[in-house]
Structure 1
Amino acid sequence: MAKITRITTQKKHKNRFNIFLDDGNGEKYGFSVDEAVLVEYRLRKYLDLDQATITSLIQKDTLHKSYTLAINFLSYRMRTKKEIRDYLIQKEVDEEHIAQILDKLSAEHLIDDRQFADAFVRTRMQTTSKGPMLVRQELIQKGVDEVFAHEAIEMYTFEIQLEKALKLAKKKLGSSSKKSFRQQIQQLQGSLMQKGFSADVVNEVTANLQNEKKDDAEWEALVKQGEKVLRKQRQKYSGFELEQKVKEALYRKGFTIDLINTFLHGEHED
């Protein structure tokens, strides 16, 4: 049995207290506890503590410190259960304490993966150009249950997807003026799919963009590409064979046969 002889406030941590004990061999430092543990167990001078109680107090304080770590981690933004668990594992918290902390945080409504998923999707829709499939993948990676992820993604409607994807596509269209319109469209389709938009949305965007084709820009792109191809192919071919090689190359780049013929049979005719 040991008796508490002194309780002092730590200099650097005003909410933590050092407990000094005397077990019959003189006073010495025993352990430290958080203010919450001090109050809960009514620790005070002259209180007698047996070894089992001391061990319990130390464990209780360790749990409280780990819980405080989790609360601090949550103070920056919402977290999933998996994120909290991974963080506490990184901090070398005992698995038993992690389970208790997660249960407490859930009971206090400080973590809720369903609410997290809803908030995450809303934020991604407002602040990024990512489509729903990419956002859903992010949720799964963060440990959100697939059911919750699916429910949250449903708020990312076809109309919202289309508006976002179309805005993104129009911004990119024309940035590669050296490429044919068809080639730009193909690249846009691939880019939108990588961004996580559905095939239906990508097809609708493609249909909407057909009116964006500008003949002058297409001709300028063809001339730039055509002159480059001509310079390269003239080193090996001439006449009809040269014309066929140029046609094949430009057609693969997405230009129409009519436009290619206009280029070849105009001032660039060999």
Structure 2
Amino acid sequence: MQVITKITRQKNQERYNIYINDKYAFSVDESTLIKFGLTKGKILDSFEIDEIAYEDEIAKAFNRALSFLTYQMRSEYEIKKKLIDAGYGESVVLEAIQKLKKLGFLNDEIYSKALLETKKKTTKKGPMAIKQDLMKKGIEKNTMEKALESYTYEEQLAIAMQLAEKTVKMNSTKTPVQIKQKIQDTLIRKGYSFDIVNEILDQMVLERDDEEWDKLIEIQGEKIWNKYVRKFEGKELELKVKQALYQKGFPLDIIERFLEARENG
């Protein structure tokens, strides 16, 4: 006969040591103690002891998950992976997750919306990039799509414009053509659609006066000239430099003026 002869509380923990027939048998979480009504004098059989051990493992996994969630919100997939990596069995982990979801500690729908808002504000990502982030977190397709639906076209346009304006400021030594290419590359990389990209580019007004063009071509033209002067000369050199500058968005009259200055210099 297996009888609980003593129960003691562990130091600084909500766990209890269970003694059977005056010998230490196992320890349990307070929730397990209450659930099974473990008290001094209670008789246990082998099946009950196995059941208690299984339930206590769930309690441990649950508490471990809570510690993960204390620092930041996490998806169901992330919690499952962390618990599996911590050595808990699949069935124990699933039970712990169900308990977390029932108590409202784990909710992928709320998590998805929170992640979406964070990515919009901190990294200014577009829907396609955020979708990739949600997929990495193991969010189900329907939950993911529901969250992304809240990211309106107007919001995307406003955030994309902020990125475009920042790109303009960071590329003051570039031509309008080069800047627009930079804007396109940035927005595509950030996960915005071509519709958003094209609308932003249509709205951008990037003009240069003659003085600004002269400064730009002085910077870029010298680099290109020095690049080709080692390989070509005469008309062939001028043609190569002219083609390169034109591709970068310099007007022909500005290019001709630059080349003329080079010849006379």
- TM-score above 0.5: yes
Residue 198 of structure 2 aligns to a residue whose secondary structure is helix
**Distance in 2 separating the partners of 1:190 and 1:241:** 32
Paired residue for 2:256?
261
Task: Say whether residues 1:57 and 2:52 are aligned partners.
Answer: yes
**Distance in 2 separating the partners of 1:231 and 1:49:** 90
**Distance in 1 separating the partners of 2:257 and 2:221:** 11
Write the mapping of 1:86-105 to structure 2, written as runs, cut at 5 A: 86-105=81-100
Q: 2:206 aligns with which of 191, 212, 236?
A: 212
Asked if the contact 1:177/1:217 (under 8 Å) is kept, the reply is no
The one-letter code of the counterpart of 2:134 is L
Paired residue for 1:18?
17
The one-letter code of the counterpart of 1:70 is A
- Cα gap change, 1:123/1:57 in structure 2, threshold over 3 Å: closer, same or farther? same
Q: CA shift at 1:232, angstroms?
A: 3.6
Residue 110 of structure 1 aligns to a residue whose secondary structure is coil
Asked if the contact 2:176/2:206 (under 8 Å) is kept, the reply is no
Count of matched residue pairs: 263
Return 5+ residue gaps in structure 2 as ranges. none
Return 5+ residue gaps in structure 1 as ranges. none
Q: 2:128 aligns with which of 109, 127, 133?
A: 133
- Cα gap change, 1:257/1:82 in structure 2, threshold over 3 Å: closer, same or farther? same
Q: CA shift at 1:133, angstroms?
A: 0.8
Q: Write the deviation string for residues 79-108 of structure 1: whole angstroms up to 9, x where unpaired.
A: 222112111111111111122222222333
Residue 269 of structure 1 aligns to a residue whose secondary structure is helix
Where does structure 1 differ by over 4 angstroms across 4 or more consecutive aligned residues? none
Residue 51 of structure 2 aligns to a residue whose secondary structure is helix
The one-letter code of the counterpart of 1:268 is R
Residue 75 of structure 1 aligns to a residue whose secondary structure is helix
Task: Say whether residues 1:6 and 2:19 are aligned partners.
Answer: no
| TM-score normalized by the length of structure 2 | 0.91
Q: CA shift at 1:12, angstroms?
A: 4.2
- Cα gap change, 1:77/1:229 in structure 2, threshold over 3 Å: closer, same or farther? closer
**Distance in 2 separating the partners of 1:102 and 1:118:** 20
Paired residue for 1:74?
69
Q: Write the deviation string for residues 171-214 of structure 1: whole angstroms up to 9, x where unpaired.
A: 121423343221121122011100001111111111122x2333
Write the mapping of 1:1-270 to structure 2, written as runs, cut at 5 A: 1-13=1-13, 15-22=14-21, 27-209=22-204, 211-215=205-209, 216-265=211-260, 267-270=261-264
- Cα gap change, 1:198/1:263 in structure 2, threshold over 3 Å: closer, same or farther? same
Asked if the contact 1:131/1:196 (under 8 Å) is kept, the reply is yes
Q: CA shift at 1:236, angstroms?
A: 4.1
